[in-house]
Structure 1
Amino acid sequence: MIQDFKQNANEWANTNIEDYLHGIASWVEDMDGLFTDSEDLAEGVDWRFVATILYTGSRYE
Structure 2
Amino acid sequence: MSKETRFCPFMRKLTREHWRTAQDRVAESYKDRFGKCIGEKCMAYENGRCKRLEREGAQ
Give the TM-score of the pair, scaled to structure 2: 0.25
The answer to which structure has the higher helix fraction is: 1
Structure ID, larger Rg: 2
Give the TM-score of the pair, scaled to structure 1: 0.25
The answer to which structure has the higher strand fraction is: 2
